[in-house]
Each structure stands twice: as structure tokens, then as C-alpha cells.
Structure 1
Amino acid sequence: MNAKKIHEKNTELGKSTSELLILKAEGYPLSGMMEEYPVIENKDVFEFYAREQWNGNVARKGDYLFDKRMFPDFAYRIIDVEPAESIIGNSTSIIVTEEENGISSSEEIKSDVRFEDVIGQELAKQKCRLIERFLEEPERFGKWAPRNILFFGPSGTGKTMLAKALASKTDVPIIPVKATQLIGEYVGDGARQIHQLYERAEEMSPCIIFIDELDAIALDRRFQELRGDVSEIVNALLTEMDGIIERNGVCTICSTNRVNSLDSAVRSRFEEEIEFVLPEEDEIVHILESNVKTFPLQVEEFDFRTLAKKAKGLSGRDIVEKILKTALHQAIIEDREIVSGKDFEKALARLGRKDFAQDPTRLYV
């Protein structure tokens, strides 16, 4: 059956076309045929032939694809595919990565988060305007570009959302990475992943690299003996942040909720530190009211101001995940069509505290 008929058959089965296909080179089925893997010197040419020969095939994570033209019988394993179990087509973007998780190349996304979706954090939004202008006109800034930005503050206050909102507003891709993913199994793995990450970002520039939980790799050197050898990862990151390898149009945004635990050498590389704070009472009301509008059940009339006063000290994520979601689920469990005020009150009471206000100096340590 030719590729066209395979594609038509799979389409009839209701499968969509793959948008992104991440492959890992596995080698030849028979050992000894070639000691080294083929080198892809031209990514565009590889993609063209790959799409042509695999057109119509259903791509499933974990399955293998075998090359029939460029490197006959060479095997590639599917690390990831979006959407899952979709059909490889003429518009499918195909990437070959050396990493099992595809960090260096597979995670770039186009964000649809808006600034309006981040409730509060007005000072942080204001400071982000400079980054916005840089991403829109990177050539205008020259050596004065805001390349390294640090977001810090309590968990769940919108750091990741604001980074995605920046990408959405400027229509640039964002590569989100958790710092723990950069720690390889062997010495040198982490440094290689970081350099590959920046190489990929440069190819898509202007682009945002968003590294979450930075303290996982950039912990103060006094504590590194507790974590193992991470110095090579930190050195690789510093090399990229210093601009020793020039990456035009790449903006690095890192986030942490333990800013005082960061290594001073890393922290000094950030041109701007932007603080994120816990929501005030009015902002909590806004979070509550805007989110209940998306409930699949009706919500009885309720004074959210009263609830907001009791929830002061919670982050936006805690309010949504631990109060609103718990209340909604309780109503669904009881087969009710309406979420009551008591559901919200009970959800808050389950957290075990009536006053969540904390000493701000203890939020980042």
C-alpha cells in the first residue's frame, strides 16, 4: 500500500495530522554494520525526505521508524509526538534529538496565555515591558539587550504564566525547561544539554528560554556537596548567559522561589530581578470570581470577599487548586448541580489554617 493510500486510510479512522515528531537515533538492527551514527548535516533536507517516506504512518510514542532512503534500515525511536497517535504528514515538523526527553529541541511552544490571565503582579508586568520590546525589535538594543532576567517569589504566583504571556504578546516561541531536567546521568550530560538548548533557541530567535526551579542547579556552592557535582552545569549556563557564545535574539528567563539560596556567581548574571508577590484581598476576589465562571456547574450567590479575607496568604495556584477545585469536586461527588458557599468554606477549612499570612522574609528560603 503506497503512502497516499495509507494516509487516506488512517484519516478515515479519524486520526489527525502530527504537528511535531521527536525522534532519537537508535542505530541499525544488526550490530557491527556501522560504528557511528549518520550525521544529519542539513536539517531541512532530512525533514523533506523523512516526511516523504513516512507520510501516512501513524506515529506513536515508543514506536520505531526505519529509514529506507537516506540511511537504509537505520532505526529512529519516537520520543514524543503531538498530538498523540497522529498521522505523519507533509506539514509535520520532524526533529532528531540525542536526549531521551528531547529537552534541547522538543519543548518549544507557542503560548496563548495573555497578560490579562495573570491576575495582579502589576509591577512585574510593568518591568516585563522592556523584555517585550526587546523580543519585538532585538536588533534595536545591540549589546544593551536584556538577555538574562530572574523571576523570584513564592510558588504559584504566576511566574511561568507571565513568561508565557510575554511569548504570546510578542508572538515568539518559548522553550520551558525544569532545571532538574538538565542534570544528566553522566558528567558532561548537563553541559551538553544546556548548549544544545541555546543552539535550538538561536535557530528560532527571537525566542525565550524559561528555566524553572533554577535553584536545582544553581544552588549556593556552600551546599553543592549535598547535591553532587553540578559545577559543570553551572559553568555551561554561565557561559551562555555571559554571551561568550553570542546568541542573537535569545532571552533567558529563570525562576525560583529560593532566591537567597542561589549561587552569587549565577545571580550576578541577571540584569533584572523581578519579584512576584502573594495576591492582595482584591486580587483574591478577582481570582475566585473569574475562575468560578468556568465551572461546569452553577454556583450559588456567595460573598467571595468574606472568603478572600480568610484566604489571604495563599497563592493564586493554591486558591484555584485547593479551594475552587476541591469545592467543585465535592459537588460532583455528591451529584449536585450547584456548588454552594459551604463547599468553598469547607475546602478552605481543610487546609488546616485560618490565617495564611507569613513573614515575607521566609518565603524565599
Structure 2
Amino acid sequence: MNVSQPHADPELKRLLCLVDEEIDEKAVIKAIQKNPSVARAKYKASYLGPDFPLYIAIKRGASFGVVNAIFRAYPEAVKEKNSEDETILHGACRMAAPFEIVSLLWEGWPDAVNRKNRNGQTPLHCACSNHASVESVTFLMEKCPQALAEKEEMAGQTPLHCACTFSVSHEVVSFLLKACPTVVEEKNKFGQTLLHSMCSINGNPASLDTLLLLLKYHPEAVRIKDNDGRMPLHYACKKRVSIDVVTLLLEKNPSAVEEKDIYGETPLHLMCKYCTPAREKMILSHVSCLVSNRLDRSVATKMMRDFIEIKWQGGLILLFELFPLSVTCLNHIPMSIVPSLLSMMGRHCKILTMSTMMINRQDVLNIY
């Protein structure tokens, strides 16, 4: 798209391109209304420029009023692509622009929702990678439903993979899953499922609600290995996600704690390598002993005490179900703890296990 530079306005450039200052929105609108043709010129606002005022305003986080004024002055700018073959709609989604702006850009060029950049990403990919609002994601999905199943070229990620990788809201993930539930079993180029992606984020952005939702749609995901032989638990331990995420994965697939990747590393190896807090290491060590049957009653007693101390109900369930003799360890548990323990476990343990527990601690029946 060739646009002659004589229309460039030094004042508009000053208003839009001084990145260290906030945009004077009233002045920008006034300049555009005074001479709409200045919206047809390109201005260099970054090392990636020059760009049309429409794109600069969106990148600078201008309000809908400013973006709308510039758009009305030169709507053809919406069809511009940058060196990465990205449209302005791609850019707006990457910037998590408000829904009103996304809708406005679609109005100017409806086919933009189908366009892919150099990496094969649609605007929906960009929106799902950058915390766009659920309104924007819903809108893009409705206008281009086929995009949900499309994989970008760099990592082979669907928009849902992107949403899980970058920890967008539970609401967005839920909407995408309902719109196309079959995508939940898709893997990226690294053989990673959505659960792998969500467990691969540093820190703890992954919400338990979202993890549980993924497991509802794809319960086998906890057992799937990627191209490096790693299960989701490996990544959760490597990336130091919250203890709640780690314990949830252990409850769903305790044997994962013993699985080695192609480098010979278990989740515990990765956890120790990346300086995880002692509590998390204790949990994995205990479950490793439990799964590999490397424990006796003294070890089981310590395990029970530790799980009670951190209030990990799922760990107690694993202990009683995988090592039934552990119920005899109740004799070494303080009386004050037993009632709450029974209350905690009652709805989850097998009847036989509960009966054995009661036989070993009949004194609890004498509590009034």
C-alpha cells in the first residue's frame, strides 16, 4: 500500500510518537478532524515502523474514541500488513485491545480474522496468547470458527494451547473447550498436550479450576509423555508451580513420580535441581516411596503425620489405598488428631479401609 508522505503532519507525529509521554487524546482527535488526510501517512514510532496512525494509536493503548476517529479518517489502513505479515487486527489482539476496537477493525476488514502471519497465527492465536478479553475471543471465534483447530507453524499450537501456555482466564479456556472439545486431545510439535502447556509456566499462574476442567475433558492427559518423555508432573516440578497443582497431579497419577524422561530424570530430580521448597520435595519423596513400595510402618507413620500437618487429604487417601497396612499406624497418631482424620477421609476411602481404621482406633468411638 503506497501512501505519499506529503500528507504527514509533524504535530500528529509529535502527539503519537513520543513514547515517554501519554497521548493527548483530545489533541489527536482535533488534528485528525482538522485534516483527515494525515491519517493516510505513515509515521515512525518504533524501530519496526513506519506505521499508520491507526496502528500506532492501538499500540500506544489509545482509547476507542481516538482509534475510531483515526479509523474513520482512513479505514483502508486496517488492511496494512507489517514485515511479519501481521494485520492491524493481529496487532490489536496481541495488545489485548478492548473488544470495541477489535470489533471496529473487523468492521473495516472482515476477512482479517482469517489471515495468518508469517508464523501461521490467526488473530485468535494472538488473542489467546495475550490475555484478550473473553468478549474478544468469543467474537473472533464466532467470525472464524475454523481457527480454533488450526495450528500455528512455529510450535504447532492451537489457540487453546496458546491460552493454556500463557495462562489466560478460566472463562476463556472454558469457552474454547465448549466450542471445540475435540481440540483437547491435540498435541503441539513437542508432543505436549494442553495440560503440559499449562504446567510449563513459571511460578503459579495455572488455576486449579482450569486444571480440573482440562482433566474433565481429557483425564488421560496426566499419563501422556511428550517428545522428551515428560509427563505434566515433570514440568510442574521444573517450573515451580504451586503445591496445590503438584498435589493434584499426584492424586490423579501417583506413578508419574517414578517416571524418567529421556534424560533419566524423574519429577523429583527436576524439583531438586531447581531449588524447590522443602515441603514440595517432602511430598514427592513420600509419594515416590509409596508408589515403589519402599516403606514400612515407621515410614508410613511419618508420612501420615506429614500429610496431616500440611492438610493434604489426597495424600492420606493415597497412603491408605496403596499401603493398607498404614491404618495400623493410627496407634501412633495422637488421639486429638484421629476424629478430624476420620472426618477428612470418610467420604473418600473404601469401606474396608475405613473399617480397618476404626478397628485399630476403637477408642475414637468413646468420644462424646
TM-score normalised by length of structure 2: 0.28
- Structure with more helix by fraction: 2
TM-score normalised by length of structure 1: 0.29
Greater RCO structure (CA 8 Å; 6+ sep): 1
- Structure with more strand by fraction: 1
